[in-house]
Amino acid sequence: MKRILVLAGLALVLLGLSAPMAAADVVKTELFSIDLPSGWVAIPRAELDEKFKEALANMKAKSPASGQKLSQATTYEYGFQPVTHQRWFESPYMLVDATLQGSGLPGDMAAENRAATAWVVGLAKDLTGQAPFVLFDDYDAAKRIHTVELKVFGEKDKPNTVVSCATVYTAKGWFSFYWYASEADYGRVVDQMRRALSSIELAPGLK
């Protein structure tokens, strides 16, 4: 399923100890370009791979079925966060699964988006034991981006987290962006994160 990687990010929120690297606000890849908030930097791929392994182990321990699906999925190709952070994966940050999946546009986009929302809500509940609260659920038809923002309740003494899942549909499949923020940071960063997602431009061959 398309949103399995979002749950891996829930285990990344409190991890990471390295220092940031040089800033680059505009990111261009073979698939897309995106205008990041000013002062954001790339998270090294080695850090992404290591934390993905930790997240996978966490998921397998709590939900073996979901962990098995995740183990068959790609890792995150890109990650970004503010240059002012002292550790990787501090709130807020963004992850990108830039591997195209599927073979084209869904025949019924509305049904696809409803099913995706229900599915990711169910997975979050499986992982945390509590149903998340849907803060935002929107489809930008011009950009072909479906975005869901969830308030995920922390376990025991862990803080609540807002997780945003944005799926970008293209002529050759779909790929996904995820951003994460503590509940305390959400109101401060939500507008800039939504602006970043709205700035996404596809490569000519994917439009």
User: What does the pLDDT look like over 133-146, one tens digit per residue?
Assistant: 999 999 999 999 99
Average pLDDT rounded to a whole number, residues 98-109: 84
Q: Residue 34 — pLDDT band, cuts 50, 70, 90?
A: very high
Average pLDDT rounded to a whole number, residues 144-152: 94
Average pLDDT rounded to a whole number, residues 87-102: 90
Q: Which domain holds residue 145?
A: 5-206
Looking up residue 128, the CATH number of its domain turns out to be 3.40.1000.10
Question: With a threshold of 0.75, does the pTM exceed it?
Answer: yes
pLDDT of residue 44: 92
Q: Residue 69 — pLDDT band, cuts 50, 70, 90?
A: low
Average pLDDT rounded to a whole number, residues 141-163: 88
User: Does the pLDDT value for residue 194 go beyond 90?
Assistant: yes
* String of DSSP letters for the chain: -TTTHHHHHHTTTT---PPP--B-SEEE-SSEEEEPPTTEEEPPHHHHHHHHHHHHHHHHHH-HHHHHHHHTS---SEEEEETT-SSTTPSSEEEEEEEEESSS--S-HHHHHHHHHHHHHHHHHHHHSSPPEEEEEEEETTTTEEEEEEEEPPSTTPPPEEEEEEEEEETTEEEEEEEEEEHHHHHHHHHHHHHHHHT-EE-GGG-
Reported as a single tens digit per residue, the pLDDT across 168-179 is 999 998 899 999
**What is the total count of domains within the chain?**
1
